[in-house]
Amino acid sequence: MPLIGDELIPFTKIRRLTAEHMVRSKATSAHTLMVKEVDYERVERIRRNHGAAFKKDEGFSLTYLSFNACAAVEALSKFPHLNASVGDDALIVHHDLNLGIAVDLDGDGDGLIVPVLHRADALNLREMARRIREVASRARSKRLSLDDVSNGTFSITNPGPFGTLITGAVINQPQVSILSTDGVVRKPVVVEVPDGGESIAIHSVGMLALTFDHRAIDGAYAARFLARMADILNTRDWAAEL
């Protein structure tokens, strides 16, 4: 009960719906969190070398989220049991890859919504960045249609711009997993030098935190997915997609 002097703020409709959805998700899925540290130095070099031209062309910055979204989509093609739902004593693996991107509506805690990028596996890096920007803008201006928030198969939440370390996100039902892309910071890392030895360098490093439904997959499968994502981030020819 509120005490004397407390402020009572009634839940908005979207805050109430979000609360109900989150509680139902926790009661439904066997939530398990797995985290992998990722070296983003190669991605950072792409952003450094191409970021100014990209912003001039597109009118917005090239963020880590677009790289992470492309890497997740590519990795899901090899780990399809994360692009799935739990049915009646069965795993329903979706062949369409519809990527949900969680969007904070106003920055004041009023709620979030998860617009969906349908057939996200057809998008290259520049197209992914455009689509994310577009749906986030339409979400915040309340211009999303029902189709825009329907049939998501895998979701990403991106608190990284606020410098988060590890986020254990709640699964967006009926999906079986959600990826949190947390903050990227400069820190010392051990790197291999050309002669086969090791050295200390300053790289951009961040965490990928995958919450998955343990009813659907086991930890080894989730770990391999995160390892594949990290490999894609460090080997894909990103410059060719800009």
Contact (Cβ atoms closer than 8 angstroms) between residue 4 and residue 198? no
Active-site residue among 81, 218, 231, 237? 218
Extract the tokens encoding 234.
């460090």
Contact (Cβ atoms closer than 8 angstroms) between residue 23 and residue 168? no
Whether residue 214 lies in the annotated active site:
yes
Query: Regarding beta strands 154-157 and 99-101, do their DSSP bridges make them parallel or antiparallel, or are they unpaired?
Result: parallel
Q: How many CA atoms lie within 13 A of 90 on its CB side?
A: 5
Give exposure, 18-56, as e/b (b: 16+ Cβ within 10 Å): beeeeeebeeebebbebbbebbbbbbbebbeebeeebee
Instruction: Give residue 59's region: left, alpha or beta (phi > 0; psi -120 to 50).
Output: left
Extract the tokens encoding 203.
């790289």
Whether residue 218 lies in the annotated active site:
yes
A 10 A CB-CB count for 203 gives: 18
Active-site residue among 89, 214, 231, 237? 214
Extract the tokens encoding 136.
């986030």
- Long-range residue pairs from 133-136, CB within 8 A, at least 24 positions apart, any chain: 133/58, 133/60, 135/101, 135/103, 136/101, 136/103
Residues with catalytic annotation?
214, 218
